Structure 1
């Protein structure tokens, strides 16, 4: 069967009130198309939306713009997006050179808009600063899939997909709390990320809310690092000197955790266990080996970029969802922050990033 002829670009009204549905990740597999020889797809005069599937459809050009990949997780975002796009013969991916300079990223997105891509996937270096250019894309009839760092208004995107920072802290806190619930006067230390980021504050709030359920546990120290190996080592060294003994450490980010591990080894400390954040392959392998203080990590999955490509492709092809009754794609998809331990690490190891 020949590909479906290209449809007119969606209008602004279509984008806000009614393009066909799509979904991310596992929801996009094992689905069938709208056409049916039996006619069972029409019931009581109600037609179902075309559901997303892997079979080739109308060609879609997706513009992908993200920040500079100066961090393991951000590099994994780029890799996930490229790998997913390569799986689809009907997808052409146009990417920009990542930048942490907002003016430069705005210019890159404007270039993608002018090249008339069908859909945009944007992980903004700064959601607030890039809101206007996303609005420009939407007003031009180009659906925007907002990845992770959110724009200031829902009018700037058709769908947002990202991680759960509050849930990340909450699940880390509950994991630590359950392991220490029978320990009298348990002490916990937190190695946070950049304090000027809202995501860091959300992770800390979730962690504190979880620990509030365990009256025997006290958080005795918290210091912020900068999501880098060097800062993790420096700040962790200071924490180890300031707190002579404690039972658990939660580190917000596995990249800075590499530095924290170095500081811990240099200090010869092993009286506590460590829970990481994000889900790097290094940490998962340490969990699997079970020969260090690292016992768990809480996911912030970079696979969200692959899901964003799935969503963008489905939007461009006016395909819908399998598994949900709604005919439209959700306006937001929040990924779950699973806790990876020795018991389940083999399941999650393929998602670990370098």
Structure 2
């Protein structure tokens, strides 16, 4: 968590303390609806949601938090309805399984007076939410590109592995390419979708290694893809690749940075702990009795050996 965000969340915590009487008079019943741990990053979301539930309920006994995980958009839509009708929530923090199928169910509970904070994956209709909390996707690409360009000394051949074709992926890649345009000595050989998947990334990297005799660096745009990339490099026994930059701050890749890995020298945050930040900021808003800022963007931070320990959570599944 960078200094600016830390100050923001610290202010929220202070507001919670000041609003203790408000909580006692108007009990906050918060539903937290998130995807199940179907892959590494989502597993981290589940971990942080449950960890934060315990912290908030312990510190503020008048607050009740109910965490629900869903394996599909349809299941999550049903959970949202149940949270309102059965659990009588007055606050909802949701990371939608998918944007479109969840927009109407969330809009319905908002119309019934539930305060709604949406996290990461925006709804198709912003009027269905009171607040939005997300990572900085353009910053994610920009930070990685600036580090790579500096580390390469402004010269070299690089390849890119994109994620799933989405607005988020476009934002990341467009920002990365915008930086590289300022470094004409760096040539982007190709950019293909690895779908934020280890196996897909492995196949894409195999293709790159077959087609390009010299690759200086790889931007994998996700730590899971970076795993597949490194596996392909090792199997091909290529020594020309000097750098692999992923992203999202998985504990395995942060540990590589901490340990001084020769190829993985940095990472970029897009932490699943954003669900924790959203829960804390929402709780503060409810305690104070006023709306959150419409949008809170959590900056992407460069992780190097100097600061990696601050972002290393060995108990997290991601």
User: Per-residue deviation at 1:63?
Assistant: 0.7
Q: Give the aligned partner of residue 281 of structure 1.
A: 251
Cα displacement (A) at 1:311 = 2.3
| 1:30–1:53 Cα contact (<8 Å) kept | no
Q: 1:113 aligns with which of 61, 84, 90?
A: 84
Hey, what does 1:135 align to over in structure 2?
107
Q: 1:63 aligns with which of 31, 55, 74?
A: 31
| Cα offset, 1:53, TM superposition | 3.1
Q: Distance in 1 between matches of 2:175 and 2:154?
A: 22
With over 3 angstroms needed to count, the CA separation of the structure-2 counterparts of 1:65 and 1:238, relative to structure 1, is same
Inter-partner Cα distance in structure 2 for 1:254 and 1:28 = 26
- Of stretches 272-281 and 256-265 in structure 1, the one that deviates more from structure 2 is 256-265
How far the C-alpha of 1:316 sits from its partner, in A, is: 3.1
Q: Do 1:297 and 1:340's aligned partners in 2 also have CA atoms closer than 8 Å? A: yes
Contact residue 226 and residue 245 of structure 2 kept, 8 A? no
- Deviation sequence 1:122-158 (CA, Å, 0-9, x none): 1112112211111111111001110100012221111
**Partner SS for 1:162:** strand
On the 8 A contact 1:143/1:315 being kept in 2, the answer is no
CA contact (8 A) 1:118 1:316 kept: no
Measured on the aligned residues, the alpha-carbon RMSD in Å equals 2.3
| 1:308 aligned residue | 278
Q: Which has the larger radius of gyration?
A: 1
1:153 alignment counterpart: 125
TM-score (norm 1): 0.79
Q: Please, which runs of 5 or more residues in structure 1 have no aligned partner?
A: 1-22, 34-50, 321-327
- For 1:193 and 1:353, the matched residues in 2 are separated by 21
**Within-5 A mapping of 1:1-354:** 26-29=7-10, 51-53=15-17, 57-58=23-24, 59-88=27-56, 89=58, 90=61, 91-99=63-71, 101-115=72-86, 116-183=88-155, 186-195=156-165, 197-271=166-240, 272-318=242-288, 328-350=291-313, 354=318
TM-score by length of 2: 0.88
CA deviation after TM superposition for structure 1 residue 234, in Å: 2.1
Q: In structure 1, what is the Cα distance between the partners aligned to 2:181 and 2:101?
A: 36
Distance 1:284 1:138, change over 3 A: same
Task: Show structure 2 runs of 5+ residues with no match.
Answer: none
Deviation (angstroms), 1:232: 2.2
